[in-house]
Structure 1
Amino acid sequence: MSAADVKRFNRSKVVVVTGAAGGLGWALVQSLVKAHAGETPLRFALVDVNGEALAARGRELEQQGIDADVFVADLSSESAVAELCERLRALYPHVDLLINNAGITHRSLSTQTTNTVIRRVMAVDYHAPVELAQGLLAPLRAAGGCVVNISSMAGWMPVLGRAGYCAAKSALHQYFETFREEVREEGVRVLMVYPSFVATDIDTNALSGDGGRARHAQSTIGQVRSADWMADRIVAAQMAGKERLFPRDKSLLGAYLYKLAPRLFLRQMVKNFRVELEEGRNLVRE
């Protein structure tokens, strides 16, 4: 083993997590700490738009004796993502794990959703993960690292009131399924995660069509899982070298139904998410 190899394997493993201040992002950090206890130490680069909450998470890790750096960034801004990548490359010549977890959604009919909202959803949910993976490709290559993307079953099938979100997650799926094969021989791995309904702030903070806060409650199908439950399964899948993680619930059955009998699926979707249509009609009346 060369001196460079010795240095590579004797260092801390660097983990970059976006949307790390709460929800699934913070649950993933905790799950990784638990899964790697007693092994090679981890160094976290925590990224979030909420500076106060992020600083608190950084202190929490440091109190546990875990190295953590915090980076406040608005991932809807191309220039902010570029600046973030530059800072990360300067600090970390190796990145072992990039977790693209940060995301936003909307609950509004496509005809009542502004271009600004659609562009913001696409920027955070699609463009930022792509730009981070590309911007950190050199340190990922150096580490033989892995990119974990938190996608959604909404990327596989249409969901009323989520047209922009579905589009962003579908684009994320197609991009990284291609990206994986293009970097496979360079030692970079990709895990695509397709959760169903998870109890996180992404739906609590869902945008309305005009960019405000969505007023009506989220419509769900099947069991809503906790962030901790989902995080443990993502970490286990990543450590096992899996390339895709699907839910085993009604949403997976829905994806198959959409492919095999799309008209039947669409009728059922309208039935399950009728509240979205009713909310849209109420807005027209107002």
Structure 2
Amino acid sequence: MPHKVFHSKVFERKVVLVTGGCAGIGRALVMRFAQAGARLVILDLQQSELDFLVQHLRDQFNAEALGLACDVADAAAVNQAVALASERFGGIDVLINNAGITHRSTFSETDLAVFQRVMAVNYFGALHCTLAAFDSLVNRHGQVIVLSSLSGFAPLLYRSAYNASKHALHGLFETLRYELKGSGVNVMLVCPGFTATDLRKNALVGDAAAARPPLAMGRVASAQDVAEEIYQAAIKRKRLLVLSNVNWRARLLARYFPRLFERALLPRMSGLKPERNRS
């Protein structure tokens, strides 16, 4: 998808913090906002990957960027990272809660440790970052962007921990949006469909080990296309962005026609082969 907006100066010199920014949608978002003239704060786990990305941003976009190794599940580490970012750039204008992990295992085969780790990264990670950046976002009339999933409104089989974490994100950030009404802070939930990232490839299995190769998920979007849609929605300060390969059908059927959803969409969305979906 070609970039639609080159002239917009909405994010020029704005400070944009992206978690999980070294790969997938996170990396694509970092590149897109750098192209728009933003100053980047990138959180991820490996400092060597962060250093490489920061240098790449300088070389390609002459962008100011700070890469900080940080596990978003660690509240103290997040507080320290946001403090360093604020010291460097003066505050945070846009927080993009992108970091996330998933798993693939039945509920009965999923260890408690997997539920705890998925929730720690996907839910508490976003909570930690938002709490740490909250005052700055309010003072700057900023924006919180939260990467959810189509599973936030339509469940996927063998992802009970992942689905739960995404539902928790919706509960938290929809409430926050109401509480921030009139403050000038925008809260946008983003629900991508299946995207070509390492998330599924690095999914956990029930015992928290690396998963077997991912199942085919049908049509898959590129991280760059998803990032562009998010960028355009951020300019418009949207509240909800649904970018699912089955978009409105999944939302409509899961909510109003759950039995039809279970038959028509759930198996395909969950990566099951047709012959395994026999009633």
CA distance in 1, matches of 2:72, 2:215: 24
- Over 3 Å counting, the alpha-carbon distance change for 1:26 and 1:271 in structure 2 is closer
Q: Check conservation: 1:81, 1:131, Cα contact below 8 A.
A: yes
Local SS of the residue matching 2:192: coil
The more displaced of 70-79 and 129-138 is: 70-79
State the Cα deviation string for residues 215-236 of structure 1 (Å, max 9, x = none).
Answer: 1423424x20000011001000
Tell me, yes or no, if structure 1 residue 109 matches structure 2 residue 110.
Answer: no
Tell me, yes or no, if structure 1 residue 12 matches structure 2 residue 16.
Answer: no
The more displaced of 76-85 and 160-169 is: 76-85
CA distance in 1, matches of 2:164, 2:80: 26
Q: 1:256 aligns with which of 249, 252, 276?
A: 252
Local SS of the residue matching 2:182: helix
CA distance in 2, matches of 1:67, 1:88: 12
Query: How many residues of Structure 1 are paired with residues of Structure 2 in the alignment?
Result: 263
Residue 275 of structure 1, CA deviation = 4.1
Tell me, yes or no, if structure 1 residue 70 matches structure 2 residue 67.
Answer: yes
TM-score calculated relative to the size of structure 1: 0.85
Greater share of helix: 1
Q: How does 1:222-233 map to 2 (within 5 A)?
A: 223-233=219-229
Match of 2:54 in 1: 58
Q: Check conservation: 1:193, 1:234, Cα contact below 8 A.
A: yes
Local SS of the residue matching 2:243: coil
Local SS of the residue matching 1:159: coil
Q: 2:43 aligns with which of 34, 40, 47?
A: 47
Tell me, yes or no, if structure 1 residue 152 matches structure 2 residue 149.
Answer: yes
Match of 2:23 in 1: 22
Residue 85 of structure 1, CA deviation = 3.2
Q: Check conservation: 2:141, 2:185, Cα contact below 8 A.
A: yes
Match of 1:184 in 2: 181
Amino acid in structure 2 at the alignment position of 1:190: V
CA distance in 2, matches of 1:168, 1:271: 21
Match of 1:123 in 2: 120
Q: Check conservation: 2:194, 2:244, Cα contact below 8 A.
A: no
CA distance in 1, matches of 2:244, 2:106: 28
CA distance in 2, matches of 1:206, 1:52: 22
TM-score calculated relative to the size of structure 2: 0.87
Residue segments in structure 2 that go unaligned for 5+ positions in a row: 1-9
Identity, % of aligned positions: 34
Q: Check conservation: 1:49, 1:74, Cα contact below 8 A.
A: yes
